[in-house]
């Protein structure tokens, strides 16, 4: 796909994005505005549907939305508040560990570098890049399953895993699109470009898509 076509695809997504009733839109509307809230919300979102994450995050933050307040909650209480997010036992433990590290090492402030964020337990490149982009406005590409799948389906990249996709997109996309691409592709993937049998007949960029790996579509 030509670079000019990639630009056109992104502009089309931006035009249609407000009309998509994607679960990510609900999550984004309820996600906290502070770096700490966003960090915790992204941990809750791992391998969990956005609808569930949004409600769990809202319950948790109604009890504790600062480092000090979270430190006062015991793990059992955190588990109770975030259930039924996936792996809620592990996530509750991670939230406590991260809170303690922020207090002991970072003066209760979320660090703004990739290396520092990757040192936190349970934080991978996807979460770290999302925090850098959302909280600090830094140029970063957050690659989840939607971004990985759609980038390959469109032929933008030819990669086997999200990490490879991140580095391939860094080479492929102008920086002005880095911070937008996750939100756009996730909403697109949740509504039209489904993992199985995507809605190609309703897709506004079908004429640009070679449908790589698509065996069945609607």
- The catalytic residues are 126, 144
**Tokens at 97, concatenated:** 């560990």
Query: 213 with 159: CB under 8 angstroms?
Result: no
Distance CA 4, CA 125 (A): 28
Tally DSSP H helices, then E strands, for the chain. Answer: 12, 0
- Sequence-ordered list of residues with C-beta below 8 angstroms from that of 81, at least 6 positions apart, any chain: 56, 59, 60, 63, 73
Name the nearest CA neighbour of 89 among 75, 72, 99, 69.
75
Residue 155 Rama label (left phi>0; alpha psi -120 to 50; beta)? left
Name the nearest CA neighbour of 91 among 103, 76, 79, 104.
79
Query: 213 with 150: CB under 8 angstroms?
Result: no
């Amino acid at each position: 796909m030509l670079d000019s076509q990639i630009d056109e695809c992104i502009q089309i997504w931006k035009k249609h994005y407000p009309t998509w009733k994607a679960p990510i839109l609900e999550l984004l509307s309820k996600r906290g505005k502070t770096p700490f809230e966003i960090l915790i919300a992204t941990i809750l979102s791992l391998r969990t549907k956005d609808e569930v994450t949004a409600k769990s995050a809202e319950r948790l933050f109604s009890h504790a939305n600062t480092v000090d307040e979270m430190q006062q909650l015991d793990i059992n209480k955190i588990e109770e508040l975030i259930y039924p997010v996936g792996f809620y036992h592990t996530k509750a433990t991670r939230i406590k560990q991260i809170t303690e590290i922020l207090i002991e090492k970072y003066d209760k402030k979320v660090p703004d570098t990739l290396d520092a964020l990757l040192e936190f337990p349970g934080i991978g490149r996807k979460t770290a890049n999302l925090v850098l982009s959302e909280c600090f406005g830094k140029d970063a590409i957050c690659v989840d399953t939607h971004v990985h799948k759609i980038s390959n389906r469109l032929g933008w990249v030819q990669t086997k895993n999200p990490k490879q996709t991140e580095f391939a997109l860094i080479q492929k996309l102008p920086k002005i699109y880095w911070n937008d691409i996750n939100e756009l592709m996730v909403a697109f993937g949740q509504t039209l470009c489904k993992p199985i049998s995507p809605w190609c007949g309703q897709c506004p960029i079908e004429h640009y898509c070679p449908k790589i790996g698509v065996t069945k579509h609607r």
